[in-house]
Amino acid sequence: MPIKDKPTPSRPRLIANLLLGVSGLFLLTNLFLPGAFGTQNTSVPYSLFIHQVQEGEVKQASVGQNQIRYQLKGENGTPGDVYVTTPIFDLGLPNLLEEKGVEFAATPPPKNGWFTSLLGWVIPPLIFVGIWQFFLARGSGSGQQGVLSIGKSKAKVYVEGESDKVTFTDVAGVEEAKTELVEIVDFLKTPTRYTQIGARIPKGVLLVGPPGTGKTLLAKAVAGEAGVPFFSISGSEFVEMFVGVGSSRVRDLFDQAKKQAPCIVFIDELDAIGKSRSSGGFYGGNDEREQTLNQLLTEMDGFAAGDATVIVLAATNRPESLDPALLRPGRFDRQVLVDRPDLSGREEILNIHAQKVKLGQDVDLRAIATRTPGFAGADLANLVNEAALLAARNQRQTVAQEDFAEAIERVVAGLEKKSRVLNETEKKIVAYHEVGHALVGALIPGSGRVEKISIVPRGMAALGYTLQLPTEDRFLMNEMELRGQIATLLGGRSAEEVIFGSITTGASNDLQRATDLAERMVTTYGMSKVLGPLAYQQGQQAMFLGDNSPNPRRSLSEDTAKAIDVEVKDIVETAHKQALAILEANRELLETITEQLLETEVIEGEKLQSLLNQVKSAELSLSNLR
């Protein structure tokens, strides 16, 4: 291999380092060897000095606060030797010197010598130069200029050939999004096929969807398939305390991208810098975030002029908060929805992640996918890892189906809290409460299949839980199914009323969820005959952060707000009566299942299904219940 020459330091830096070294040497010498640059005298004890004065041997003396310097009488009038001594507090010394005829005087105050002046004028500038060189050298390893690199882009660059290269085969469950992005890959590979006929590829592609669905992974897969450089940066990395730094980093990022075109620029969490300027977050042109957004708008609208093939991919789970100027055609021309996977998509994702662990012969990934509705790609990856951790904890060599079942319950309901011991009365109340949920849920259509009843405490506050899983992916629900869900939520409280004739605080979360669902039926879904097919809430589009609580209501009249409250109360009370009627008709079965639950603490599988198949349908109608 050829030997590389060592880099030669620049002349100014060499001179500065030399001066700094020389001044440091002089300073250390002056501090630790104070007599190196002056005349040295012999030091004697103070008692010897007094003896010599009394004997008349001292000719003259210079008395100072910290030192006495004196000269002895020489032979034939020649000057004698000079000595120094350290004085002590002696008020009779002047009288003694005068009595013995010694010429004495006080030592004049010290004057700054040439060396002290040199240090005062040279050392501070040299220290400043040394500190400046230190900060400049801090950025030399990355090719930047230390403190001057504050406006440089912090984007990470991934190039083809890296070991962690991602392709479309590593992404599953988002087939529609992959189909949309194939065109981007094809354009980066063969741009002339599009440009020859006058076609223009989208400058920007916005990936929107719930957290954990694989937006960042999809962007990496596009770069891996196209084989082009991939610049990755988070939106929060643009914004700093100093105004103008974000816009400078945006300019630098696109300058780097144009030099390596064709390439992909990926901005994660775009809403960190792309929030709407009309939302009240900006106040004038001296706002750092607004300047960063304006620079991004300018770069996206003009960087493609010429032959530079740069495509911007961005990801966000809050598209409703983005500025309209950012979403217009010519900037982010295309929005690709990356949604939660369906049943087949979840199975494909599990297959990909399961390749990294050792599976047992009894593992059925299709059954696991069926039991995980609503799980995103990140949730499924975490599920596989949790199952592997449980298998290792139980000293197994492979991951079994029961490990996946326990991992699902950990994700859905939380960890088991066996240390939370309930007394017998509380345990009995919890058992009737959970069996009440199960019986009502087993009879109500559209509420899912009851898979497990447990009175083992889990999570932060759950003293027991009833696990219901849908038998298929559902995207629409009718009014009767929603009313059935509310009745199922109230089944636990209703069981307490039927058996004990009183209620406890255990149903607080059930009541909250039931009330929220009833309010959405009235104000959002238009399922009230009294209020009609009107929306009484302020709609917010594309909310992907998992907030199912009702949106703020519009400005309503007092009569309308009162009518909404009456309708919500009517829906909840009707469902409550429905749950009570079902449990009254199946009271014997309610007590039978509860007794078995108190003995085993958990009922699931075929045993649970055989018990729930005995539920009797009560003769119910909404008109009779109201």
Active site residue 591: no
Distance of CA 451 to CAs 172, 356, 454, 610, Å?
A: 27, 29, 10, 12
Structure tokens at 556: 């309503």
DSSP 367: H
- Shortest CA distance to 219 belongs to which of 260, 154, 166? 166
Nearest to 338 by CA among 196, 222, 211: 211
Q: What's the Cα-to-Cα distance from 442 to each of 465, 491, 613, rounded to whole Å? A: 15, 11, 8
Exposure string (b/e) for 553-573, b if CB count within 10 Å is 16 or more? Answer: eeeeeeeeeebbeebbeebbe
In eight-state DSSP terms, residue 308 is -
- Buried-state track 120-140, b at ≥16 Cβ within 10 A, e below 16: eebbeebeebbeeeeeeeebe
**Residue 369, helix vs strand vs coil:** helix
Residue 464: closest CA among 422, 407, 497, 514: 422
Residue 423 is classified by DSSP as P
Q: How far apart are CA 231 and CA 266, in angstroms?
A: 6
Q: Which of 434, 451, 496, 567 is catalytic?
A: 434
Structure tokens that stand for 404 in this block: 């996946």
Handedness of CA 209, 210, 214, 217 (dihedral sign): positive
Nearby residues of 581 by Cβ (< 8 Å), 6 or more positions away: 618, 620, 625
Closest alpha carbon to 247 in 287, 212, 309, 295: 295
Rg of the chain over all Cα atoms, to the nearest angstrom: 42
Contact between residue 312 and residue 203 where contact means Cβ atoms under 8 Å apart: yes
Q: Would you please indicate which residues are annotated as catalytic (active-site) residues?
A: 434
